[in-house]
Structure 1
Amino acid sequence: MTGTVLAFVIRLATGVRLLGDLPEDGKRRIYFANHSSHLDFVVIWAALPGRQRSWTRPVAAAEYWEKTPLRRWLASRIFKAVLIPRDLARMRTEDPLGKMLEALDAGADLIVFPEGTRSDTGAVAAFKPGLHHLATKRPDALLMPVFLENLSRILPKGELLPLPLMGQAVFGEPIPGPVEGECKAAFLKRARESMMCLSHGHLLPAPASDEGS
């Protein structure tokens, strides 16, 4: 009940619309989106129908969501987030990719942000290899692009309280995973373009891909 009420409040506050029911075809979904605010995964989560929301887990930064008791409670009890550390020592022991694969194998859908960090300017950076690793390891998962609009203005970086502005989450059709002969950089560019095409024509130039990142 807490999650249902919270999702309603988030939709009311941000203007994001509730999606219609998604097909329950037994396939796992990996929602991937641009990242400019701590509201990003919350808005995607809130836009999902209740049943899908119940098994969808955002992938989020451990250092942020473990910082206070309230954030820890929200991350663990409401969002059931897969918390990924950015500290190199913790990454070596906790295996971020392994945690995401384990969640998929347990029946969860995931919300991921392939840029790896929030944008300060709204520009969408090149995708890092994580999405490619997930798509390669779990080729049956549906890759679902989502473009988030205006969330960096609703909750700017460094602010604690959201501003009364309207945002939007635009969900696209699933894209194919890596195809035969397609290198990692080409797949990541294709995935980014599929997401950017949802941005109502405001397509930003694709940055140079850093295949080794």
Structure 2
Amino acid sequence: MIKKLFAKCCRTILLIVCKLVTGVQARWYSPPCDAVTIYYANHTSHLDGLVIWSSFPKKLRKLVHPVVAKDYWEKNSLKKFIAIEVFNSVLINRHTNTHENPLQPLIATLEKQQSLILFPEGTRGNGEQIVDFKSGLYHLAKQFPHIHFVPVYLNNLNRVLPKGSKLVVPIICSAIFGSAISPLHENESKADFLLRAKQALKDLI
């Protein structure tokens, strides 16, 4: 009980700090809904998931889970507590062996009718360009053809918390939520789908 209460307090504090530091302005092309959705975004800062998550109406936050790297967020007990208890993140192993499916935690979450925040570039970029997507987004689209895939473009987050820096610089940021892309087309190749998904994100710039 105490642990849950402490997590709730941390969540509230982090949301307030996030809004103060980034002044995040969320813009939605389509109103947010409770349909199962994968929100996929460009990745330039450790604040990215928090900014997207904080942009949702309060009632949706319990249904949306940031996808984070297990090797980073399990480095110490504080990071693990923030990832799991505060934001109810889905942790994935980026260094699995051939007998493990790294997408299994994501699949399990989607099967529970919960949504995800995903960064298909796989690693943080420099904020200047969007690099090619990893294949995970395609495999999820193939296995879950009826869920929504919504692109989210994050602007200025790389300047708030630059890669390799621990200094937070208050700058106005924005999160642009586009319309859901059309489902995976019949006979559409992995390369074509990933290119189409990436273009939908670039179109929000």
Query: Shared fold by TM > 0.5?
Result: yes
Counterparts of 1:127-166 in structure 2 under 5 Å? 127-166=133-172
Kindly indicate whether the alpha-carbon contact (under 8 Å) linking 2:38 and 2:117 is maintained by their aligned counterparts in 1.
yes
Q: Which runs of 5+ in 2 are unaligned?
A: 1-7
Does structure 2 retain, via aligned residues, the 8 Å contact 1:82–1:99? yes
- Show the counterpart of 1:68: 76
Q: 1:167 aligned to 149, 165, 173, which one?
A: 173
Amino acid at match of 1:84: I
State the 4+ residue runs in structure 1 displaced beyond 6 angstroms. Answer: none
Deviation at 1:19, TM superposition (A): 6.5
2:4 aligned residue: none
Cα distance in structure 2, aligned partners of 1:23 and 1:73: 28
TM-superposed CA distance for 1:18, in Å, is 5.4
Aligned length: 195
Which of structures 1 and 2 has the larger relative contact order (alpha carbons within 8 angstroms, sep 6+)?
A: 2
Structure 1 residues 183 and 141 mapped into 2: Cα distance closer, same or farther (>3 Å)? same
Q: Shift of the alpha carbon at 1:86?
A: 1.9
CA distance in 2, matches of 1:92, 1:112: 23
- Specify the SS of the correspondent of 1:178: coil
Which of 5, 17, 23 aligns to 2:33? It is 23
SS in 2 for 1:96: coil
Mapping 1:33-112, distance limit 5 Å: 33-89=41-97, 92-93=99-100, 95-112=101-118
Q: Output the amino acid matched with 2:111.
A: D
Stretch moving more, 190-199 or 121-130? 121-130
Residue identity opposite 1:154 in structure 2: V
Measured against aligned partners, the alpha-carbon deviations of 1:50-99 in whole angstroms (never above 9, x if no partner) come to: 1111111011111111112211111011111111122234x744x32111
Alignment RMSD (CA, Å): 1.8
Unaligned runs of 5+ in 1: 200-213
Q: 1:12-34 CA deviation, whole Å, 9 max, x = no partner?
A: 2111135786233xx30100000
CA distance in 2, matches of 1:4, 1:140: 33
